[in-house]
A and B are shown apart, each in its own frame.
Chain A
């Protein structure tokens, strides 16, 4: 089991005061996968990640990290980028990256060497010896991100890694995540921006109101909503409605309806035989965003309770 899963969680519960901000979450993150934890603000994503990493202890439930019951025992094989970014402002960029590696067991000398290489690759070669306080917010965020991967961990946990980054750096980060996965690392990240999850995730879980609402692939999530068909005949004719499913509605010169379970083909033959023809036909699959909205629905967002420092 431990060989197959990088992270497992069963029935994780965390209460703040008398409120269950995480309420029985189960997670199974396969090794070598990019796994997204999605949810609206205050859904319990960060608290779940903190429990998985052993920063805070769950009130109920069990978790394993890289096969270890105690997350601390896997500490040197884990990299973590917290939601609230934090670096020592007086440290140079290279030192900051090396320091985070040293916390995870990477010797200082090796850490400094790798830090310089990573900063160069990330386009921050000019800032290697700049103090963190002189870096822009985005640059500091990249420095911290590099600090979470400098020791080449088996598991990388990123909490809202894209927030605060400009589109160029977001693209770089996506590339880095894919490169780390290709190196063999498992990536577990949280986000509420669906586009990143849609592009990156091998599997994902959707958490809302402290509970896991969905677990599966991106396609599985999208499949929770039916696809829609947009049909455009050669000529507008109200009689076409008789040949379409009951939910079909006129949209401009065409029609829109849910893709029937039997598929589109059984509909096309009668339409062609009746002389309506096919000027246009589009099958619109739902986006992850739409699936997310449907899954999360009207589940109340818990007010943010977890504060750190």
Chain B
């Protein structure tokens, strides 16, 4: 048997033990149903979602392609009509564009504008206008039609209004608002899950230390395999947890009223929904393994439960910090802060999940998962070496710099 296969077998033996020891206990049920008690997360998520939703509204626009002579009247009427709506019901801001030789083609090109999500474009003569909609049934089409009528009435009092022609032209790209919402959903979702689950890993080595089992393990198995086995075992527990709640939430969404279900339809990840789901799962795994490997290495140095409990605050702070960094990256795709969040190992899975929502390119994800995997191995190796040196006292008697100084 090769050394790799032996190590793999030993890793899985440890993982199996930890999985069984965790799942087949009454305490696990308490853990499994803990989310019911966690209403506070709903509040946090709600605030974040509201923030993202506001961001999405900021990115929406209406466009009227009208001659410059009509523009001032239309702006005045827009200002007047807009006041009739309550704050959160007001239509998106209006932009005026000067007609080109082919207003229809111009309108279609406008719908695909990259800087904003264009909800609807009005073009053609105001008494027989055409409204091009980004999606069918948008109330913004009604608003543009009413605006055209009001503008005609203002310019030529008593003029007869002809009903506008409506055309729907789906965007050739996903909506920016939908991308941002998807980005937040991904970042928050992974944060939420890892906050719940990755912190568990911190105390797992304490069991071996307290029961003196560690020497049996250390004699039989490389410490790296012990560490990785424990991480994989606890990851299995996390997957079980996610599968359970994923199924529950999935079933609950079928019971949602159509309006609430439509809100989920506003999620438009740039890579497409199926790939987004795959990448979400991949980045959740990597976030768990990265944070878990760090927490495992740190927790293994703690010798008492009190020390482990003391670690819970810094661990939570690290996770919240990574969430904040990745949230900023999701709001500002392509910015320097996004690049930092994508490259820094502990925030990389969060930020890259956000990127999957905002950018259709796939190759950066392959690179990122590889990069994150390297760091998992690195963290495990460092954790195992620190444990060997600090706890097993199997290192050089003196640090190398002191040995050199003495020499």
- For chain B, residues 197 to 226, give those with C-beta under 8 angstroms from any C-beta of chain A: 207-222
Q: Are B397 and A103 in contact (CB under 8 A)?
A: no
Q: CA separation between A59 and B36, bound complex, in Å? A: 54
Q: CA separation between A274 and B1, bound complex, in Å? A: 77
Contact of B220 among A17, A56, A85, A100 (CB under 8 A): A100
Given contacts A88-B17, A88-B21, contact A105 B212 (CB under 8 A): no
Contact of B212 among A55, A85, A103 (CB under 8 A): A85
Count how many chain A residues have C-beta atoms less than 8 Å from C-beta atoms of the other chain. 39
- CB contacts (< 8 Å) of A103 on chain B: these are 10, 13-14, 216-217, 220-221
Tell me whether B391 is interfacial, beta carbon within 8 Å: yes
Tell me whether B9 is interfacial, beta carbon within 8 Å: yes
Q: Are A308 and B392 in contact (CB under 8 A)?
A: yes
Most buried by A among B210, B219, B392: B219
Most buried by A among B9, B25, B397: B397
Question: 1/0 per residue A84-104: CB within 8 Å of B?
Answer: 111111110000000110111
Q: Are A59 and B208 in contact (CB under 8 A)?
A: no
Contact of A307 among B14, B213, B393 (CB under 8 A): B393
- CB contacts (< 8 Å) of B398 on chain A: these are 15, 17-18
- Interface band, chain B: 35 or more
Q: Are B215 and A56 in contact (CB under 8 A)?
A: no
Given contacts A55-B392, A56-B392, A103-B221, contact A80 B216 (CB under 8 A): yes
Given contacts A86-B216, A88-B17, contact A72 B211 (CB under 8 A): no
| Interface SS of A by simple majority | loop
Closest A residue to B402 by CB, please name it. A18
Total inter-chain residue pairs, C-beta < 8 Å:
98
Tell me whether B335 is interfacial, beta carbon within 8 Å: no
* 16 more A-B residue pairs beyond the given contacts A18-B398, A82-B219, with a C-beta to C-beta distance below 8 A: A16-B397, A18-B397, A50-B394, A53-B219, A56-B392, A72-B3, A76-B6, A80-B216, A80-B219, A84-B215, A85-B212, A91-B21, A103-B216, A308-B214, A308-B392, A309-B210
- CB contacts (< 8 Å) of B3 on chain A: these are 72-73
Tell me whether B396 is interfacial, beta carbon within 8 Å: yes
Q: CA separation between A302 and B139, bound complex, in Å? A: 87
Q: Footprint of B on A, CB under 8 Å?
A: 15-18, 50, 53-57, 59, 72-73, 75-76, 78, 80, 82, 84-91, 99-100, 102-105, 144, 147, 305-309
Q: CA separation between A100 and B13, bound complex, in Å? A: 10
Going nearest first, the 9 A-B pairs with the smallest beta carbon separation are A86-B212, A56-B394, A15-B397, A309-B209, A103-B220, A86-B213, A82-B215, A80-B219, A84-B212
Q: Are B215 and A86 in contact (CB under 8 A)?
A: yes
Closest A residue to B212 by CB, please name it. A86
Q: CA separation between A73 and B221, bound complex, in Å? A: 10
Closest B residue to A18 by CB, please name it. B397
Q: CA separation between A90 and B22, bound complex, in Å? A: 10
- CB contacts (< 8 Å) of B207 on chain A: these are 88
Q: CA separation between A88 and B233, bound complex, in Å? A: 16
5 pairs, CB–CB < 8 Å, chain A vs chain B: A18-B397, A55-B218, A55-B394, A80-B220, A308-B214
- CB contacts (< 8 Å) of B394 on chain A: these are 50, 55-57
Given contacts A99-B13, A309-B209, contact A82 B397 (CB under 8 A): no
Q: CA separation between A55 and B221, bound complex, in Å? A: 9
Q: Are B393 and A16 in contact (CB under 8 A)?
A: yes
Q: CA separation between A72 and B388, bound complex, in Å? A: 15
- CB contacts (< 8 Å) of A53 on chain B: these are 219
Q: CA separation between A89 and B21, bound complex, in Å? A: 10
- CB contacts (< 8 Å) of A17 on chain B: these are 397-398
Given contacts A73-B3, A88-B213, A309-B214, contact A105 B17 (CB under 8 A): no
Chain A min CB distance to B308 (Å): 14
